[in-house]
Amino acid sequence: LTLALVARAGCFFVLPFVVLWVGWLCRCDHRRLSLRASAGAGAAVGLGFAFNWAVLHAFGVPGSAFSNFPMSLYGVISGGDWTTAYADHPEIRAMPEAQAAQRLLSVILARLHEDPWLLVEGSFRAWAAFLGFKVGQFSFLRAGALAQIPEMTRVLVPWAQLPTGLARITGALGVHDWPTLVVVGTYSLTPWLLFAAGAAVAAADARNPRNRLLAACWAGIVASIPFVPPWDADLMRAYAATLPLQFVLCGLGASRAVAWLTAPVARRRVEGRPAGSADPIAARTIALATVAALLPVLLVFKVATWNAAPDPVATHACAAGRPHLVLPIAGAEITLADRREGLFRLDVAGFKRSLPLLLKSFPELFRPFMALPPGTTLTAVRYADGFGYGVLAHPAGGAVRSGPDRPIPVCVDSPLLIDMSHGPGAGR
């Protein structure tokens, strides 16, 4: 869990609560905690951070680590999101990332010193958002389904509209037709119902150590939510390390529902099973323990056998801008088409309608993005020299060929948008 959190920063407060749970589980006599067990668990957590530091120190690129935590926290106390920091303090755009983070942290501390209640208000706003449908815990489940609602509505016309009475009830939630109701019910309401059922099952057996572990993890998640606000979590991506823990309660609710529905059949199977047959739960436990034991060995082997290559140096000439080398990020690519075709070919008109919201903190990019014609492919790229990340715009079908030994040469003024329509391009 520690390695997962250092790989994808998220609900770090889960870790101290798990350490306390280990101390409670291993206590003896009438003590509330075993200090020795808690110290061992704390050392295991510290070992994860130490291993991450060692890998970054040995193989990482200096200055490549970046955290938008100060931006997110500023949004929490300001009533906005991470982009609010750039809107209120545009001077940080020109600063190096580390300096910008320090500048924002000093502003945050000064504001909290003047009015500590800002953090309390922001925390309640974050908790309410986590429990909501729009950017809440299960919002990522319906990300792809929402895009299909217009097509579903077109096919179902004239049967897509809800009855007047039902439409009045659901209208407050922004649901006005059957396709939207089906999507919201399937991907938002159903997971929350299963989650509530699982929480009830766990609470009913509160003395079970596994359920107490769940309670400890959830205490850490709830404490972390204000510092990982859902509106900045990018469809819960920031919660990736703890999503399995969050879905355990859904699994408990679903398994209890399935067990209740299939109880008569399961009873007959147990009665008919011959004595001495293998226990499937024991077999699964052994398999899981074997995989868990192999993972650290494979990780150490991979790190030990990996040869870090030196950063490539840009040698091409640029008429305007600075020469850089970029590497496309696998799977991070969309194409602007005349009409939407699936998840990765977007309607160019719809894409441009969303630009005012997407680029509200980067107004200088609005015109360059609006000028992109249909047939343009946008590819997320990483600068090979650790300069940061950007978006490469190039004609669809004109394959961007690259690899660790063949990065793409570009000419950059500003690193966020690199237009390759007419050659190596100039960043905008």
Contact at 8 Å (CB) between 215 and 17? no
Cα separation, 426 vs 114, whole angstroms: 44
Is residue 16 predicted with pLDDT exceeding 80?
yes
Is residue 202 predicted with pLDDT exceeding 60?
yes
The tokens describing 169, both together, are: 């009830």
Q: For 95-145, how does the pLDDT look when each residue is reduced to its tens digit (9 = 90+)?
A: 777 788 888 889 999 999 998 899 999 999 999 988 887 778 887 776 655
Whether 111 is covered by a domain: the verdict is yes
Do 145 and 260 share a structural domain? yes
Do 417 and 326 share a structural domain? yes
DSSP assignments along 230-286, one per residue: GGGSTTTGGGTTTHHHHHHHHHHHHHHHHHHHSHHHHHHHHHHSPTT---HHHHHHH
Domain that holds residue 301: 278-308
Do 103 and 201 share a structural domain? no
Residue 158, preceding peptide bond in cis (omega within 30° of 0):
yes
Whether 220 is covered by a domain: the verdict is no
Is residue 428 predicted with pLDDT exceeding 50?
no
Do 245 and 198 share a structural domain? yes
Is residue 417 predicted with pLDDT exceeding 80?
no
Do 402 and 295 share a structural domain? no
Question: Into how many domains does the chain fold?
Answer: 5
Do 293 and 259 share a structural domain? no
Do 147 and 184 share a structural domain? yes
Do 367 and 304 share a structural domain? no
Whether 125 is covered by a domain: the verdict is no
**pLDDT value of residue 159:** 58
Contact at 8 Å (CB) between 327 and 404? yes
Whether 273 is covered by a domain: the verdict is no
**pLDDT value of residue 127:** 92
Q: For 306-321, how does the pLDDT look when each residue is reduced to its tens digit (9 = 90+)?
A: 555 556 666 677 777 7
Whether 315 is covered by a domain: the verdict is no
Do 261 and 284 share a structural domain? no
Q: What is the mean pLDDT of residues 343-363?
A: 72
Whether 170 is covered by a domain: the verdict is yes
Whether 242 is covered by a domain: the verdict is yes
Convert 179-217 to b/e letters by CB count within 10 Å (16 or more is b).
bbbebbeebbeebbebbebbbebbeeeeeeeebbbbbbb
